[in-house]
Amino acid sequence: MTQTSTDTTTEGTARIPRIALVGVHGFGERHLDNLGRLSANGALELVAVADPRPPADETLGPEVKVFASLDELLAAGTAPDVVIISTPIQTHAPLAIAALNAGAHVYLEKPPVASMAQFEEVLAAAASAGRLVQVGFQSLGSEALPAIEALVASGEIGDIRGISATGLWLRSKAYFKRSRWAGKRSLNGTDVVDGVATNALAHAVATGLRLAGARTVADVESVETDLYRANDTESDDTSVVRVRTTAGFDGNTASGGGSTVLTCALTLCAPVQSAPSVTLYGTLGQLTLFYTEDRLELTSPQGTRTETFGRTDLLENLLAARTEQDLLSPLSGSGAYVSVLETIRTADSPQPISPEFITWEGEGDSAHPVVHGIESMIRRAALGQATFAELGAPWTSSGEPILDSDSALHIKGTPVATLQDGSRIRPTSSPRPYLHPVRTLAGTVVTDHIPEDHVWHLGAGVALQDVDGTNFWGGRTYTRDAGAYIWRKDHGRIVTESAEHSDGHRREQLSWLGPDHTPVLREQREWRWAAVGTSTWKLTLDFTLESATGQPVLLGSPGSNGRPQGGYGGFFWRLPKVGDATIWTPDGRGEDAVHGTVAPWLAWSGTFDAGTANAAQVTGDTGLGHPATLVFLASPQAPDPWFVRHSGYPGVGLSLAWDAPVTTEPGHPVHRTVTVLVTDGFLATQDIEQLITTLGEPA
């Protein structure tokens, strides 16, 4: 049976617990302040401190003994009831075990250990000694956490679709010079595992895990890492960690309802520092906890409201606890967090971010790096449950053109597009194959994917929002009954069954699977690509959709379900940010004039801010202004209207079911062909029509 932290004398009267602090500098100074507060209230007695560097004179009262080490403190017979350990990461485990073996309860600063093996050793020592170990994740003492659990259980924000933890901090060169272990993965062969997710913003990870219902090692199904560094360190300072739990979130613990995904997108290289947060995304709204402020923001159909909560001090909680179940942040409840730490510890070293994607601000030791476009990348990673590599951040390896792969489209050795299989796209974005990035021959990127505004928009490809009630587009579904977009558990996925890839041609057999993985459609898709002169190339997409159910299948859209002018679905091309965009057909100019019309071609020209393969700036705030023109040729099989968006987001599609569904029956498939001319520079109408005539296409 675990003993209480507050012992009693032989006469049975309670005595004030005796506290020892190991590590009085750095975060130890905050512990000294808290100990002073609690001591003044008569809640405890600080009897000793240990640090190779003694505290400044007059920092402590004369009754507090000072030692150079915990070993000396314990050998002197001070017999503390609780030992607080606020020392370098690599010393946590051995010091905790020593304190436990001496009969003390332990308050262990975060991260509690530097490896899974150490975690198990400290757990075993605590069990053997019958003592408690509290981990210093102060945010877990927030009264906002049970409030969030109650709000989720009430159904106010609907079902949980995912959780994100985000942090945009900045740290200077001085931060990494503050100690020998700062910024190190190991020191003299000993694990340290300092880093943005394991130390600086560890509270974001720990709070996100707690709200995802993940406490123990068994609560974690998988951990994926995407680690980078802008500083001259060993450890990561700009990373995404994606955790999948073994079960779903029900308001208290993970249970029964499918796994939850927690995406932690964190950096120490932001242009300005902002309050880190954890967000729960629901089908009816969302909850965001700014955990350093204990401030909760709830957004629902009823509006937005904010509430600030109190916080229980973890040392006071430890002193009052009688069993481990009473602790707000017990070591055993850090198993999920240690699983994340262990994955980072054993991962490859963080990739350095090339200097061309970094701007240094400030002078001397006050200088700090800013990764270009990092604010947007953090938001996109959180919303899309995606890593930086999956987003195609140019400072990742995926930001470079793929030169020799069956998934790459080349023209005379120049990579012009990459086929993504979509397997890592979040389920509510309807995973599917698509092309991204698509580039001009000069390297200007003319597609986007997983953008902030609609994270389910995926490059260039085929998607439909209503296939016999299944959403193969992603995001919310527009229904006639609701007269609005709503989140439903209706998302399907498109998987590649087979593919034949050769120079200039790719043939694929695809299966459209419903939420229960039952095939709904079979698709035969062909991509063809070829150069057209020195500055233009042609991409042709040919797709055939056939029922896989043996029955007629209705292909619909928001437009066919009652949303005016919302008939998107079929072929769709999501563009990146475009400056000075001009959109026109032979008969009209501008979004309003061409949207919903039938025309043989539609052109979009402007300056594309995503830049070239070697550009120093990327998605974010600064555009490069690379001129390009895209010419979309209508399908010869049917007069599908053009779907065009510019004011809200840049996108072009050919509407398969503009205002009425289309039926595909066994033996009678739906067939469409779309051709896109991708050109460097600006084209005029005359240039376009001459180019089309040269290709032998009907103008």
Strands, DSSP E only, in 482-600?
484-486, 493-502, 505-513, 519-532, 536-547, 553-556, 570-574, 578-584
pLDDT of residue 698: 55
Cross-sheet strand order for the sheet of 536-547 = 493-502, 505-513, 519-532, 536-547, 670-680, 626-633, 601-608, 578-584
At the top level of CATH, the class of 18-135 is alpha beta
- On the question of pLDDT at 400 being above 50, the answer is yes
* Tokens 């927030």, located at residue: 142
Start-to-end CA distance of the chain, whole Å, equals: 85
Which strand (E) or helix (H) includes residue 417?
Answer: strand 414-420
- On the question of pLDDT at 290 being above 80, the answer is yes
Write phi, then psi, for 514 (nearest 5 degrees).
-75, 180
* Tokens 């032979």, located at residue: 586
Label residue 251 by pLDDT band (50, 70, 90): very low
- On the question of pLDDT at 313 being above 60, the answer is yes
pLDDT 10s digits, 133-187: 999 999 999 999 999 999 999 999 999 999 999 999 999 999 999 999 999 999 9
pLDDT of residue 13: 55
**Which tokens sit at 203?**
């509270």
- On the question of pLDDT at 623 being above 90, the answer is no
DSSP 291-357: TTTTEEEEEETTEEEEEE--B--HHHHHHH-SSGGG-SSBGGGGHHHHHHHHHHHHSPPPEEPPGGG
Beta-carbon count within 10 A of 587 CB? 11
pLDDT 10s digits, 47-92: 999 999 988 888 898 999 999 999 999 999 999 999 999 999 999 9
The SS3 assignment for 108 reads: strand
Integer angstrom CA distances of residue 342 from 101, 183, 224, 348, 621: 25, 17, 11, 12, 35
CA angle 24, 233, 377 (to 5 degrees): 105
Label residue 552 by pLDDT band (50, 70, 90): very high
- On the question of pLDDT at 14 being above 90, the answer is no
pLDDT 10s digits, 627-646: 999 999 999 999 999 999 99
What is the sign of the dihedral through the CA atoms of 153, 157, 158 and 163?
negative
pLDDT 10s digits, 412-449: 999 999 999 999 999 999 999 999 999 999 999 999 99
Is the domain covering 140-378 a CATH 3.30.360.10 domain? yes
pLDDT 10s digits, 332-365: 999 999 999 999 999 999 999 999 999 999 999 9
DSSP 452-489: SS-TT-BSEEEE-SEETTBBSS-S-EEETTTTEEE--S
**CA gap 241, 223 in Å, rounded:** 7
pLDDT of residue 616: 36
- On the question of pLDDT at 403 being above 60, the answer is no
**Which tokens sit at 468?**
């016999």
**CA gap 529, 676 in Å, rounded:** 10
CA angle 166, 169, 170 (to 5 degrees): 155
**CA gap 594, 519 in Å, rounded:** 36
CB 101 within 8 A of CB 125: yes
- On the question of pLDDT at 611 being above 50, the answer is no
The radius of gyration computed from the CA coordinates of the chain, to the nearest angstrom, equals: 29
Q: What is the residue extent of each domain of the chain?
A: 18-135, 140-378, 410-695
Going by their DSSP bridges, the two strands 670-680 and 133-135 should be labelled as: unpaired
**CA gap 191, 176 in Å, rounded:** 17
pLDDT of residue 15: 85
Give burial (CB, 10 Å; 0-12/13-18/19+) of 347. Answer: middle
Beta-carbon count within 10 A of 169 CB? 21
